Amino acid sequence: MNIGIITGASSGMGKEFVKLTMQNHLELDEIWVIARRKERLEAWSDLYKEQKFRILPLDLQKKEDMDYLGKTLEEVQPHIELFIHCAGFGIMGRIQEISMEEQAEMVDVNCRSVVEVSSLVLPYMKYRGRMIYMASAAAFLPQPGFAVYAASKAFVLSYVRALRAESREKQLRVTAVCPGAVKTEFFNRALTKKHLPAYKKLVMADPKKVVKKAWQDNEKNKEVSVYGKVMKLTHLVTKLLPHSLFLQFIGRK
C-alpha cells in the first residue's frame, strides 16, 4: 500500500500540505493525517471523497499514541511515498517567564516527536521517497525571548540535514523548511505571554506560498527551503556573521 503521512494536518501549514498533496495527484492509496483534533482530521474525508484518509488523532507527546502509530505501521507494512512533519508549537517569552512544563512540552513536540516519528517511518520509506520537516528561520540564530523554541528548531534543522546525508543510499529527498513568521494559528499559543514584535508583523508570510515553495524545493531535492527575500537574506547573514554580533541587539528588555 502506497501512502503519505502528514502530521499537524489539523491546522496551518499541515492543512496546506494536505491540499497540495491532493492537487498533485500522487495516487496514494491512503493519506494518514495526524493531529490531536479528530474532528478537523475527519473533515478531510468530507472534502476529498475520492481519497481514502486514515484518521489518526494522536498526541505526539504521549508514549501510548506513538506506540499506536508504530503498531499500525507494523500491521499495514506500507510503502511511504511522502512524509511531512508539521506538528509543532512555540511560546514566546523569556526563559523565566515560561513554566518549566511548557518549555519541556516544546522540546517534546518539536524535537522528541521528530526523532520518534522519523524512527518509526524510516523503515517504510520508499526508494526516492519524500520527507519534509517544518523547522523555522528561528533555527538560524539563538533568540532571546524565544529561546527554547529557537533551540528546538536548530535541533530539527541539524537532525534533518544529518538524516538527509544518511539517506543517500535510498535517495530519499529530505528537506527542512525554514520560514520566518507565517500567518497561522501558531500565534494563538505563541503570544500568550508576549506581543508580536512589529518587525515580525511586517514579514508575516502566507502559509499557502510557504508550503508551495517547500513542496517545489523538496521536488528539486533541496536541503533547506527558505521562503521570501527577507528570510533568505537573514539566512545568508546569519551564516556569514558571528552570532554574538546579533545577540548584542536582539531580545534586550
Ligand X SMILES: NC(=O)c1ccc[n+]([C@@H]2O[C@H](COP(=O)([O-])OP(=O)(O)OC[C@H]3O[C@@H](n4cnc5c(N)ncnc54)[C@H](OP(=O)(O)O)[C@@H]3O)[C@@H](O)[C@H]2O)c1
Hunting for cell 508551495 — which residue is that? 212
Q: Distance between CA atoms of 21 and 25, rounded to whole angstroms?
A: 7
Does the footprint of ligand X cover residue 185 (CB under 6 A)? yes
Tell me how far, at minimum, the Cβ of 171 lies from ligand X, in Å. Answer: 26
CB 177 within 8 A of CB 207: no
Does the footprint of ligand X cover residue 37 (CB under 6 A)? yes
Does the footprint of ligand X cover residue 5 (CB under 6 A)? no
**Residues 205-234 contacting ligand X, CB under 6 A:** none
160 membership: H or E segment, kind and range: helix 147-166
Instruction: Out of 28, 55, 73, 109, name the contact with ligand X by CB under 6 A.
Output: 109
Q: Distance between CA atoms of 132 and 135, rounded to whole angstroms?
A: 9
Longest dimension (CA), the chain: 55
Q: List, in sequence order, every residue forming a beta bridge with 56; answer none if it has no partner.
A: 34
Tell me how far, at minimum, the Cβ of 169 lies from ligand X, in Å. Answer: 28
**Residues 122-141 contacting ligand X, CB under 6 A:** 134, 136
Tell me how far, at minimum, the Cβ of 104 lies from ligand X, in Å. Answer: 12
Interface residues with ligand X (CB under 6 A) are 8, 10-14, 35-37, 59-61, 86-90, 109, 134, 136, 179, 181-182, 184-186
